[in-house]
Amino acid sequence: MFPLKPELCHTPQTKSMLTGYLSYDPKRENIMGDGTKLNKLPSNIAELRALIRVSERIVVFTGAGISTESGIPDFRGPNGIWNKVTPIDFNDFLASEEMREESWRRKFSGDMKMENAEPNVGHLAISSLVNAGKVTHIITQNVDGLHQKSGTPDEQVIELHGNASYATCLSCYKRFELDAIRAPFLQDGTIPHCDVCGGIVKTATISFGQPMPVEEMQRAEDATLRCDLFIAAGSSLTVYPAAGFPRLAKQNGARLVIINNQATDLDRICDLVIHEQIGPTLSQAVD
Ligand SMILES: [Zn+2]
């Protein structure tokens, strides 16, 4: 994938450079044009507002943290699904009819249900930045489709780990809607096969052990290299290769903002870090 330059990974904290560049001072109302409001904001959110204002090609990278605020459980967190149920490895799914049956049983048992989740104020804030032409792309590790549901056009959402709301044939990539698979499976355990090529049908998510989607990874890299501000929101930045993008953005000269309720390994190289909830932070920074 993209070349990482380890020596640059240890770039000293650049927050002081950033502060100098933006010359942020709440008393200087002309920076934001709404100084009255700015004076009431916490300084880190005011700084985020200022960064968004001076940026023209923003990429927002989202992880589980933004979706947990919509009630979707974090797969990998301390109380995550993967701590209760062992994930089915892609090769096991391919190799065994029983594993495929188990996979569909889990899918339709309700344990991982996402269909009823609604976008929260964080998704809506990002969507408003997309529609204002500020955000060029959202790169997401989430599979819930909430960015699209919040009004961001499909072509501006890059789903690194796929999408759980439909299925595809692994051979010819024909799309299958879940409702068409659910009924026969619940009736007599019928496992779906592609009606065009006979291939194996799987939810359109990327499982452990499954290759990353080549086209999406390339689009994400291109967007990252073109951005002037990269905002990573709600990701622990531990799952690679996805977590390489914020590092790449920073190495390429973009400013890097991290919003996460816990510290991440990249906090030390970012320009601004906010350890808060995503929705309240972004909605104050964007409205
Ligand atoms: Zn097929």
Active site residue 123: no
Catalytically annotated residue among 123, 137, 147, 161: 161
**Ligand 1 centroid to residue 196 C-alpha, Å:** 5
Spell out the long-range contacts of 26-35 with Cβ–Cβ below 8 A and sequence spacing 24 or more. none
Q: Which residues pair with 37 in a beta bridge?
A: none
Per-residue pLDDT of the chain (287 residues; tens, 9 = 90+): 444 333 233 333 333 333 323 323 333 333 444 444 555 778 999 999 999 999 999 999 999 999 999 988 776 666 666 667 788 999 999 999 999 999 999 888 865 557 788 999 999 999 999 999 999 999 999 999 999 999 999 999 999 999 999 999 999 999 999 999 999 999 999 999 999 999 999 999 999 899 989 999 999 999 999 999 999 999 999 888 888 999 999 999 999 999 999 999 999 999 999 999 999 999 999 97
**Ligand 1 centroid to residue 140 C-alpha, Å:** 26
**Ligand 1 centroid to residue 202 C-alpha, Å:** 11
Whole-structure pTM value: 0.82
Cβ burial, residue 259 (10 Å; 0-12/13-18/19+): buried
Distance CA 168, CA 162 (A): 11
User: What are the C-alpha distances in Å from 245 to residues 4, 132, 174?
Assistant: 10, 23, 29
Does residue 52 contact residue 134 with C-beta atoms inside 8 Å? Answer: yes
